[in-house]
Amino acid sequence: MIDLRSDTVTLPTQEMLDAMVSAPLGDDVYGADPTVNALEEFAADKLGFGAAIFAPSGTQSNLLAIMSHCQRGDEYIVGHDAHTFKYEAGGAAVLASVQPQTVSFTEQGELPISAIEAVIKPKDVHFASTKMLALENTYHGKVLPMDYLPKAREVADKHNLALHLDGARVFHAATYHNIEVTDITKHCDSVSVCLSKGLSAPVGSLLCGTAEVIERARKWRKMLGGGMRQAGVLAAAGRIALEAMPNRLQQDHDNAALLGQLIADLPGLAVRHNWLQTNMVWCDFNKSIAQELTPFAQSRGIIIRPSDKEMRLVIHRHIGEAEVKQTAAMLSEFFK
Ligand SMILES: Cc1ncc(COP(=O)(O)O)c(C=O)c1O
């Protein structure tokens, strides 16, 4: 099957599976798994931070950042439909007791500086203390403009906020700009990066930050049940994901662009060309056809998950030029 629902469906490479079998292991809760320790050191170095911690998921890694930068009763500023806010089951509020203060994202995924400043609370007993600003890059496959990041850093410094980046796909952003990932991460106090999406590892995310932030995160991870004992089995695959897989992301971007071109003129479907920067192709429908399209695609060997009016097609390691052409042919048959 050609699965276009998400890049989370990627399977580990043979090299990852081989590395998992032969990884030296220990008990990571005692800090004694050499493969996890090596991955954390490698990640901290690659992303330009003092330390890193391996977490089971991006959801937990983002939550560790919130819990490590904020305290109970504090507040963090976040985009209105950011993953951290909308798709992580309300963990900041429920588990961290940290109140989310939303600001509307611009089309490109920026939180306007004036809007951030407008919601920062003054010191007053009536208000939660604003302690953190959370950004997301990429956002719906779109890349934050490089001139935005220094502005976000400046406003964070001015108001004493920690700046956290949900960088689940930060290597896609770096690939798009053709820059080092540290050119993005250097503006942040912490970054969560997912190994199990476009980078193809089976499980895992890394939170990178200062040694103090990561030390706090280590305790919160234990509390949240994320202490994983012989986690080197997973970290071995994660190391290959982080070391080797960012180099192939341009292929995914090229294939996404190809798919966007091939379906650009179909009647009843409009590609959001201005959103098509990395590995996601977003389309709008002029009427509600999801109920017919999903089984039709399935009958042609393609798994998609359209909603009533829109659809996201995600390109990843298992979708090459042939699969892109097969998808375009299926959509052409359906819409024509
Ligand atoms: C932008 C973003 N952040 C965080 C996550 C959470 O990652 P996980 O599914 O590993 O919890 C996702 C998952 O798709 C995501 O797309």
Position 336 scores a pLDDT of 87
Pocket of ligand 1, candidates 9, 54, 59, 206: which has the most ligand atoms within 8 Å of its Cβ, to mutate? 59
For ligand 1, say whether the CB of 168 is within 6 Å of any of its atoms.
Answer: yes
CA distance 228 to 243: 22
CA of 253 to the centre of ligand 1 (A): 19
251 and 267 in contact (C-beta within 8 Å)?
A: no
Is-contact 282 312, C-beta < 8 A? Answer: yes
pLDDT for residue 46? 98
Instruction: List Cα–Cα distances, 314 to 192, 231, 282, 292, 310, in angstroms.
Output: 21, 29, 9, 20, 13
Residue with tokens 């089995």: 233
Å from CA of 329 to ligand 1 middle: 30
Report the C-alpha gap between 80 and 116 in whole angstroms.
Answer: 12
- Residue 48 tokens read as 């330009």
- The answer, yes or no, to whether any atom of ligand 1 lies below 6 A from the CB of 61, is no
What pLDDT was estimated at residue 290?
Answer: 87
Does the predicted TM-score (pTM) go above 0.75? yes
Give the pLDDT confidence score for residue 287 in this predicted structure.
86
Low-confidence ranges of the chain (pLDDT < 70): none
What is the number of the ligand 1 atom nearest to the C-alpha of 6? 14
Q: Which of 311, 329, 305, 251 is nearest to 275 (CA)?
A: 311
Judge residue 336's burial from the number of C-beta atoms within 10 Å of its C-beta, 0-12 exposed, 13-18 middle, 19 or more buried. Answer: exposed
Cβ(57) to ligand 1 under 6 A? yes
- Where do the domains of the chain lie, and which CATH numbers do they carry? 11-245 (3.40.640.10), 248-335 (3.90.1150.10)
User: Per residue in 123-165, pLDDT tens?
Assistant: 999 999 999 999 999 999 999 999 999 999 999 999 999 999 9
Please tell me the predicted confidence (pLDDT) of residue 288: 87
The per-residue pLDDT for 98 is 98
Do residues 160 and 132 touch, judged by C-beta distance below 8 A? Answer: no
